[in-house]
Amino acid sequence: MKKLLLLCLTAGFLLIANTNANAQNYENAIGVRLGSYNGLNYKTFLNSNKALDLNLSFRNNDDLKRFIFTGLYEVHNPIAGAPGLLWYYGGGGSIGSYKRRDFEGDLFLSADGVLGLDYKIDGAPLNLAIDWRPRLELTPNTDFRSGDVGLAIRFTF
C-alpha cells in the first residue's frame, strides 16, 4: 500500500511540474461548496494555472458531527473550444474533528485528491465548479472513501 501511495504521489508531482498552460481567468474567488460536506470555499491562483483551494466544511446529522478544514493544490487546464471552462486535478489533505453519537470525538486526518471542472461566467463576477474528491482517511481509521461530489458557487475578485 505504501509503495502504491508513493508511486501515485510521484506521478502526480511529475504531472504538476510539467504543466505550463495559461488557464486562469480570475485571481480569487470566495463562496460556498455544496455536497456531502457543506461549507465555505476560497480559491486563489498562485500563477496562471496553479491554485490553492481551501474549504471549511461542516456535516451534522443524528449520528455524526464533523468539522473539516481541507487544503488542495490544483492544476488548471483550458478546454479547447470552451471559453471560460477549465478542467483541473490536484491533491492535498484535510484535518478536523468528528464526534459520533455513541462515543467521544476524535481527530480526523486524510490525504485528498480532486478532479473537476471550473467555469468563469464571462462578464459576471461569478464562478461555478463541480468536482470529485476521493479521500484516504488516515485517522481515526484507515479507509479509502470513493469521494464526495460537490458544487462550488463563488464570487470572483
Average pLDDT over residues 93-122: 90
Can you give the pLDDT at residue 63? Answer: 79
Q: Nearest 10 degrees: CA dihedral of 119, 121, 126, 130? A: -20
Fold of 2-156: Porin (2.40.160)
Q: What is the pLDDT of residues 128-155, one digit of tens each?
A: 999 999 999 998 788 888 888 999 999 9
CA–CA separation, 30 and 155 (whole Å) = 5
pLDDT band with cut points at 50, 70 and 90 for residue 23: low
Can you give the pLDDT at residue 106? Answer: 87
Residues 6+ apart with CB under 8 A from 126: 120, 153, 154, 155, 156
Higher pLDDT, 43 or 8: 43
Q: What is the pLDDT of residues 47-64, one digit of tens each?
A: 999 999 999 998 887 777
* Structural contact between residues 97 and 66, judged by C-beta atoms closer than 8 angstroms: yes
For the chain, percent of residues with pLDDT exceeding 70: 85
Can you give the pLDDT at residue 60? Answer: 82
Can you give the pLDDT at residue 14? Answer: 40
